[in-house]
Chains A and B, each alone.
Chain A
Amino acid sequence: ETGVTQTPRHLVMGMTNKKSLKCEQHLGHNAMYWYKQSAKKPLELMFVYSLEERVENNSVPSRFSPECPNSSHLFLHLHTLQPEDSALYLCASSQTEVETQYFGPGTRLLVL
């Protein structure tokens, strides 16, 4: 098992709901990432946090709102999502000076 955990592992939500995804890394890393993985599409980088500051927002709609309260935790707040947002959401972490990223198991999200 990796040192990156994600909760919940599965989530079903309606388009009017608000929910949050949580990621925690136990590797002592200082950069964290959110990716979206849709069927038959490459992993898409959504957000990057380095030393708790957001350094990349990859043209993600505002209905996705990230939060990084400290170097070990990362959240993705969801509101008024669309069915096409259904996907596997993956969290990863790394040391800023080392380019290898380690991934969590993901949250499988279904938007009805």
Chain B
Amino acid sequence: GESVGLHLPTLSVQEGDNSIINCAYSNSASDYFIWYKQESGKGPQFIIDIRSNMDKRQGQRVTVLLNKTVKHLSLQIAATQPGDSAVYFCAESHILTGGGNKLTFGTGTQLKVEL
């Protein structure tokens, strides 16, 4: 069955260091993955996505790596800032027959940035 899980519930990093948040998925047929950031009192915010035909995708200060062999995703945040403190979720997407898509989320990793 499909499931998405995260390796660590909490990650603490020093300001300026790089952060790496990991995610495992179980459905080898999954084709599209998204990382979201959720700050306290807000809804999830899109960060970056990647399709299964790619191994790596870069955004502004963020990089997502996809290892299809071991069904593993990671989100790398460069030069972590206090504003990066949030819960980070990975999600895998499946297209629905009638339109739209279903996102299956992991439980999330709380990133804490220490000054």
Contacts and interface: CB of A to CB of B under 8 A. Distances in A.
Contacts of B105: 42-43
Interface in A95-109: 96, 99-106
Contacts of B76: none
Given A99-B32, A99-B93, A100-B49, A43 B100 contact: no
Contacts of B59: none
Size category of the A interface is 20 to 34
Nearest to A33: B100
Contacts, number: 78
A40 B98 CA distance: 31
A99 B95 contact: yes
B71 interface: no
A64 to B, nearest CB: 17
B8 interface: no
B99 A55 contact: yes
Interface of A: 2, 4, 6, 30-31, 33, 40-43, 45, 48-51, 53, 55-56, 90, 92, 94, 96, 99-106
